Chains A and B, each alone.
Chain A
Amino acid sequence: NAGVMQNPRHLVRRRGQEARLRCSPMKGHSHVYWYRQLPEEGLKFMVYLQKENIIDESGMPKERFSAEFPKEGPSILRIQQVVRGDSAAYFCASSPESTGYTEAFFGQGTRLTVV
């Protein structure tokens, strides 16, 4: 059973370009979370999605950021018109469908560098 797969592992974008980060959850997992790790900081929750639904986006910046988890295919975190402050490691995690939560499994992250 493969783990949570994120790609690309490293992404370099120029200011003003778009960044697309992909996350394939573990097999059988239908819940996906995105976290951002800024330099010298811990991980901060961004968004929680189930298939075709955004459940909690309380940690998402109000502009330029969006996320989706379509019925087919990976979850996508999209950052439009990137700025230097978007440089960070973005982690995806997944958990199985259940009535309660006890653990999430993390991917290896995408390290975004904006130049």
Chain B
Amino acid sequence: AQSVTQLDSQVPVFEEAPVELRCNYSSSVSVYLFWYVQYPNQGLQLLLKYLSGSTLVKGINGFEAEFNKSQTSFHLRKPSVHISDTAEYFCAVNSRGTSYGKLTFGQGTILTVHP
């Protein structure tokens, strides 16, 4: 069984400030890791993913995440946020042994960027 914990349900920040959204996972097998963003009344859009290789992953819109195997974490970061980054962000995992996309999601973090 797998589980994903997003440690902050809401993160308010000011524009141009850095931000970190925290994600920890639990799994008995190796996993693939994902961050998705959901704008109001929209579907999910993939921000970035970790499959293998370098533990620092760069995604769209200036976001990056670092996979830390020892701490079972995959925190999302952005050095300078914009108003348009206001959205809900979801961390998700998929077991490497699964040949299809049965994702386990965290409960989401609402990022609110204030002017």
- Specify whether A and B are partners: yes
Q: Report A's interface with B, CB cutoff 8 A.
A: 4, 6, 31, 33, 35, 40-45, 48, 55-56, 91, 93, 95, 99-109, 111
Q: Report B's interface with A, CB cutoff 8 A.
A: 4, 6, 32, 34, 36, 41-46, 49, 51, 90, 92, 94, 98-108
Partner of B45, one of A41, A102, A106, A109: A106
| B32 nearest in chain A by CB position | A102
Residues of the B chain whose Cβ atoms lie less than 8 Å from the Cβ of A108: 41-43
Are B100 and A103 neighbours in the complex by a CB distance under 8 Å?
no
Are A42 and B90 neighbours in the complex by a CB distance under 8 Å?
yes
A-B contacts, 10 listed (Cβ < 8 Å): A4-B43, A33-B102, A35-B105, A42-B6, A42-B106, A45-B103, A99-B99, A101-B94, A106-B36, A108-B41
Q: Given A42-B90, A42-B105, A42-B107: A101 and B99 within 8 A (CB)?
A: yes
| A56 nearest in chain B by CB position | B102
Chain B nearest CB: distance from A67 CB in Å?
A: 14
Are B99 and A42 neighbours in the complex by a CB distance under 8 Å?
no
Which 9 pairs between the two chains have the least Cβ-Cβ distance?
A42-B105, A104-B101, A108-B43, A106-B44, A106-B43, A42-B107, A43-B105, A101-B101, A101-B100
